[in-house]
Chains A and B, each alone.
Chain A
Amino acid sequence: MNIKSLTGLAAVGVTLALALSACAGSAPGTATSGPAATSGGGSYILGTTDTVTALDPAGAYDFASWNLQYSMFQQLVVIPAGSDTEAPDAATSCAYDDAKTVTCKLQTGLKFSNGHELTSSDVKFSFERNLKINDPNGSSVLLGNISNGDAKAQALKDGAIETPDATTVVFHLNAADLTFIKVLTTATASIVDEEVFPADKLLADDQVVGSGPLALESYAKGDQAVFKANPNYTGDRKSQSDQVFVKYYKDSSPLRQAVENNEIDVAWRDLTPTDYVDIAGKGQLDVINGEGSSFRYWVFQFGTEVGKQQAIRQAAASLVDRAAIAKDSYDGTVTPAFSIVPPGFAGQKDSFKEVYGETPNVEGAKKLLADAGIATPVKITLGYTPTHYGPNAVDEANQLADQLKASGLFDPTIESAEWEQYQTLYKQNAYDLFILGWYPDFLDADNYLTPFLVDGGFFKNNYSNPEMNTLVEQQRGETDATKRAALIGQIQDLTAKDVPLIPSWNGKNVAVANKQTKGVKETLDPTYIFRLWAISKTA
Chain B
Amino acid sequence: MSRGSLPRYILARIGLMIPMMLVLLTLVFLLLRVAPGDPITAAVGGKLDPVVIEARRESLGLNRPLIVQYLEYLWQVARFDFGQTISDNRPIIEIIRDNGGATLTLTIGAFLIALGIGIPLGLVAGRARDSVRDVVIRLFGVVTYAAPIFFVGLMMQMFVARPLGFPTSGIANPRTQFTVATKPITHILLIDAALQGNTQALGDILLHHVLPCLTLGLLICGVFIRLVRVNLLQTLQADYVEAARARGIHESRVVRKHAFRNALVPVVTVIGLQAAMLLGGAVLTEKTFNWPGLGTQLVHYISARDYIGVQGLVTFFAVIVVMISLVVDVINALIDPRVRYS
What residues on A are CB-neighbors of B47 within 8 Å? Answer: 61, 451, 458
What residues on A are CB-neighbors of B299 within 8 Å? Answer: 250
A513 to chain B, nearest CB (A): 16
**Interfacial residues of chain A within 409-446, with CB under 8 A of chain B in the complex:** 418-421, 423-424, 427, 436-438
A119 to chain B, nearest CB (A): 28
Contact at B204–A29, with CB atoms within 8 Å?
A: yes
Of A21, A220, A458, the residue contacting B177 (CB under 8 A) is A220
Of B116, B161, B178, the residue contacting A257 (CB under 8 A) is B161
What residues on A are CB-neighbors of B42 within 8 Å? Answer: 419-420
A465 within 8 A of B: no
What residues on A are CB-neighbors of B124 within 8 Å? Answer: 3
Closest to A134 in B: B59
What residues on A are CB-neighbors of B181 within 8 Å? Answer: 218, 220
Q: List 25 A-B contacts (CB under 8 A).
A: A2-B252, A17-B210, A20-B166, A20-B206, A20-B207, A21-B164, A24-B164, A28-B203, A30-B175, A136-B43, A137-B88, A141-B52, A217-B182, A221-B98, A222-B292, A222-B300, A224-B177, A250-B287, A251-B287, A253-B288, A254-B169, A261-B167, A263-B173, A423-B46, A458-B47
Tell me the bound Cα distance from A303 to B266 in angstroms: 64
Contact at A29–B179, with CB atoms within 8 Å?
A: yes
Tally of A interface residues using CB under 8 Å: 73
Of B52, B168, B292, B297, the residue contacting A258 (CB under 8 A) is B168
Contact at B201–A29, with CB atoms within 8 Å?
A: yes
**Interfacial residues of chain A within 1-56, with CB under 8 A of chain B in the complex:** 1-3, 6-7, 9-10, 13, 17-18, 20-25, 27-32, 43, 45, 51-54
A247 within 8 A of B: yes
What residues on A are CB-neighbors of B204 within 8 Å? Answer: 23, 28-29
**Interfacial residues of chain B within 194-244, with CB under 8 A of chain A in the complex:** 198, 200-201, 203-204, 206-207, 210
Residue of A51, A54, A217, A223 most packed against chain B (CB within 10 A): A223
Contacts A3-B124, A136-B40, A250-B296; is A202 near B179 (CB within 8 Å)? no
Tell me the bound Cα distance from A1 to B257 in angstroms: 9
B229 to chain A, nearest CB (A): 14
B231 to chain A, nearest CB (A): 16
Tell me the bound Cα distance from A424 to B50 in angstroms: 10
Of A18, A31, A54, A254, the residue contacting B290 (CB under 8 A) is A254
Contact at A263–B169, with CB atoms within 8 Å?
A: yes
A483 within 8 A of B: no
A325 to chain B, nearest CB (A): 20
What residues on A are CB-neighbors of B296 within 8 Å? Answer: 222, 250
Closest to A154 in B: B55
Closest to B163 in A: A21
A7 to chain B, nearest CB (A): 8
A87 within 8 A of B: no
Given A20-B206, A424-B41, A458-B49, 19 extra CB contacts under 8 A: A3-B120, A28-B200, A28-B201, A29-B172, A52-B88, A61-B44, A136-B86, A137-B44, A220-B98, A247-B170, A250-B299, A254-B290, A258-B168, A263-B167, A418-B36, A420-B42, A421-B37, A423-B45, A458-B46
B141 within 8 A of A: no
B9 within 8 A of A: no
Contact pattern, A 240-258, Cβ under 8 Å of B = 1, otherwise 0: 0000010101110111011
Using CB atoms and an 8 Å cutoff, list the residues of chain B in contact with chain A: 35-52, 55-57, 59-60, 86-90, 98, 116, 119-120, 123-124, 154, 157, 161-162, 164-170, 172-179, 181-182, 198, 200-201, 203-204, 206-207, 210, 252, 256, 287-290, 292, 296-297, 299-300, 304-305
Contact at B59–A27, with CB atoms within 8 Å?
A: no
Contact at A263–B170, with CB atoms within 8 Å?
A: yes
A539 within 8 A of B: no
What residues on B are CB-neighbors of A9 within 8 Å? Answer: 116, 120
B322 to chain A, nearest CB (A): 27
Contacts A28-B203, A420-B36; is A257 near B48 (CB within 8 Å)? no
Tell me the bound Cα distance from A218 to B204 in angstroms: 20
Closest to A51 in B: B300
**Interfacial residues of chain A within 109-161, with CB under 8 A of chain B in the complex:** 134, 136-137, 141, 151-152
Closest to A46 in B: B174
What residues on A are CB-neighbors of B256 within 8 Å? Answer: 1-2
Give the interface SS of chain B, mostly helix, strand, loop or mixed: helix
Contacts A136-B59, A249-B290; is A10 near B116 (CB within 8 Å)? yes
Closest to A223 in B: B292
A448 to chain B, nearest CB (A): 13
Top 10 closest pairs, chain A to chain B, by CB: A420-B37, A28-B204, A29-B175, A29-B176, A24-B165, A421-B36, A257-B168, A31-B179, A223-B292, A6-B120
Of A24, A53, A258, the residue contacting B207 (CB under 8 A) is A24
A110 to chain B, nearest CB (A): 28
Using CB atoms and an 8 Å cutoff, list the residues of chain A in contact with chain B: 1-3, 6-7, 9-10, 13, 17-18, 20-25, 27-32, 43, 45, 51-54, 59, 61-62, 134, 136-137, 141, 151-152, 202, 217-218, 220-224, 226, 245, 247, 249-251, 253-255, 257-258, 261, 263-264, 388, 418-421, 423-424, 427, 436-438, 451, 458, 460
B148 to chain A, nearest CB (A): 14
Tell me the bound Cα distance from A420 to B42 in angstroms: 6
Tell me the bound Cα distance from A222 to B42 in angstroms: 17
What residues on A are CB-neighbors of B201 within 8 Å? Answer: 28-30
What residues on B are CB-neighbors of A249 within 8 Å? Answer: 169, 290
Closest to A204 in B: B89
Tell me the bound Cα distance from A413 to B39 in angstroms: 30
What residues on A are CB-neighbors of B203 within 8 Å? Answer: 20, 23, 28
Residue of A202, A251, A418 most packed against chain B (CB within 10 A): A251
Contacts A21-B165, A263-B168; is A218 near B37 (CB within 8 Å)? no
Tell me the bound Cα distance from A177 to B44 in angstroms: 24
B224 to chain A, nearest CB (A): 13
What residues on B are CB-neighbors of A427 within 8 Å? Answer: 50
Of A23, A226, A458, the residue contacting B174 (CB under 8 A) is A226
Tell me the bound Cα distance from A27 to B203 in angstroms: 11
What residues on A are CB-neighbors of B161 within 8 Å? Answer: 257, 261
Tell me the bound Cα distance from A28 to B180 in angstroms: 12
B1 to chain A, nearest CB (A): 39
Tell me the bound Cα distance from A437 to B45 in angstroms: 12
What residues on A are CB-neighbors of B207 within 8 Å? Answer: 20-21, 23-24, 28
What residues on B are CB-neighbors of A152 within 8 Å? Answer: 55
Contact at B36–A29, with CB atoms within 8 Å?
A: no
Of B44, B166, B252, B290, the residue contacting A21 (CB under 8 A) is B166
Residue of B59, B60, B170 most packed against chain A (CB within 10 A): B170
Contacts A28-B201, A61-B44; is A13 near B116 (CB within 8 Å)? yes
Contact at A136–B39, with CB atoms within 8 Å?
A: yes
B147 to chain A, nearest CB (A): 17
What residues on A are CB-neighbors of B45 within 8 Å? Answer: 419-420, 423
A231 to chain B, nearest CB (A): 19
Contact at B98–A28, with CB atoms within 8 Å?
A: no
Tell me the bound Cα distance from A23 to B167 in angstroms: 11
B284 to chain A, nearest CB (A): 11
